[in-house]
Structure 1
Amino acid sequence: MAGSATGRAQTGSQTLARGLHALMAVVESGRGMTVQDLARELDVHRSIAYRILQTLADFGLVAHGSDGAYHPGARLATLAGAYLPTLREAALPILRETADELGCTVALFVAEGREAVAIELVEPTTATHHIAFRSGMRTPLDRGAAGYALMSAGGPAADEPAQVTLARERGYATSLGEVLVGAYAVAAPVPHTHPRACVNIITHREDQAAVAEAQVVKAAQRIGQALRPVPPELPAG
């Protein structure tokens, strides 16, 4: 009996994992995926890939396009909006302002396990040439400015990278080419957040990165202030 239960659990887990793998494949493809594309991706028969995509479509997570491919569905916007809405709402106008001031892409990262994950990003409206990347980008916590900044928001650890210790001392982290070849990054931790969050800019211009340090710290501090509860007014008299 126990063996049968274990078998069902394994089957259920495999089915869920396969469905989530399919969803992520569609989202990350950038151009959508056909049934044949997904069958190759999952190494399954076309009929299985079709059933998975149809199930996802039934829930609004993917949509079948006129080009024959499946694309991200509108319901994903609802799911995305449910993730840390207070933090993202407080951060977005400040990220927009900072991106336009600096002329480069600005992102909000949070710590998730051993990774830094971009949950919001804003491209500048004041510059035509800038580095662009997508929300959901993941980088190791022990590599790159965003990871260093997030680690610096925690307590010191004996085995932490030297860049983390330095970031804790000066209030921001920097890196060069650790995530994107030839790209400079500057990141500062946002106070008063859980999970830990940071503001990160990335650029190919050294001069842009150099002047960004103070503004990235300022942006992170402003987001932290926006998150702090406003104390109630005391009654007069």
Structure 2
Amino acid sequence: MSESRPAPGAQTLARGLRALELVAHAPDGAAIQEIAAELDVHRSIASRILSTLAEARLVVRGGDGRYRTGAGLAALGAGIHSTLRAAAEPAMRDLAVELNATVSLLVTEGPEAVALAVIEPPSSGYVLSFRTGSRHPLERGSAGLALLAAGPARAGEPEAVTAVREQGYASTFGEVEPGAYGVAVPLEPSDGIPTACLNLITYRPEIAESAPPLLVDAAKRVAAALA
């Protein structure tokens, strides 16, 4: 019996998706030859794949000849992010009220943690806040640790990430905002949804100490809403 092989159309689709993934993860963009080498195809084939992706506005070719993600990909991502926000925001609002602290939803974007949604408590007093779209390196802060822990274990990963995976939450002090406590819980992986976490920031140590079980329960609610 002959060995089963993917149909030409399926193989082309797989290559296109892989090329898009390679471009999305290249901080300085990707050249045609680099894509060809990764796909193990001739340069002309890689060029056709990238041209097709460019026609769909999923990638764009810069003046330096390198390809970077385009507006079409951002539009697709916006739909996914809307689904995640809709599932998370009710639980986030409840947390913000119960703990009287700012709660945020962060996702992984390359090597950074990015705030997708921020909910402040409905209080007239002073609260610690930051803007939607704020970002910081994954290696810093409770949210970064939680996002790293949401992925598979890696050889040589920081001990702090392993600890988060074991205890179910991350807790840091002053790593992103001076003098502030951060507590974060990774969200359970869900098909089609980016790696994400719920994060709380506060200047009050007693709130940070009481937050982990409430964040864990909130993360379960979000997972149920996404199921």
TM-score interval for Structure 1 and Structure 2 normalised by the shorter chain: 0.5 to 0.7
Q: Quote the Cα distance in structure 2 between the aligned partners of 1:187 and 1:202.
A: 9
Identity of aligned residues (%): 46
After TM superposition, the score normalised by the length of structure 2 is: 0.65
Q: Deviations over 1:19-44 (max 9, x none)?
A: x9xxxxxxxxxxxxxxxxxxxxxxxx
* Per-residue CA distance 1:166-203 (angstroms, 9 max, x = gap): 10001100110011111100000111333110000000
Which 4+ stretches in 1 moved above 2 angstroms? 78-83
Higher relative contact order (CA closer than 8 Å, sequence separation 6+): 2
Gap regions ≥5 residues in structure 2? 1-60
Q: In the alignment, which of 66, 72, 82 is matched to residue 85 of structure 1?
A: 82
Tell me the distance in 2 between the aligned counterparts of 1:200 and 1:81. 21
Whether the 8 Å CA contact 1:109–1:117 is kept in 2: the answer is yes
Aligned residues: 162
2:164 aligned to which of 167, 189, 192 = 167
Task: State how far apart, in whole Å, the 1-side matches of 2:147 and 2:173 are.
Answer: 17
* CA distance, structure 1, for counterparts of residue 131 and residue 105 of structure 2: 11
Task: Give 1 or 2 for the bigger CA radius of gyration.
Answer: 1
Offset of 1:11 from its aligned partner?
7.4
| Match of residue 100 from structure 1 | 97
Q: Select 2:185's aligned residue among 183, 188, 192.
A: 188
**1:39-81 superposed Cα distances (whole Å, 9 cap, x missing partner):** xxxxxxxxxxxxxxxxxxxxxxxxxxxxxxxxxxxxxxx9996
Q: What TM-score do you get using the length of structure 1 for normalisation?
A: 0.62
Whichever residue aligns with residue 121 of structure 1, its letter is V
- Matched with 2:106 is 109
Closer, same or farther: CA 83–226 of 1 in aligned 2, 3 Å: closer
Report what 2:141 is aligned to. Answer: 144
2:174 pairs with one of 168, 174, 177: 177
Q: CA deviation at 1:159?
A: 2.5
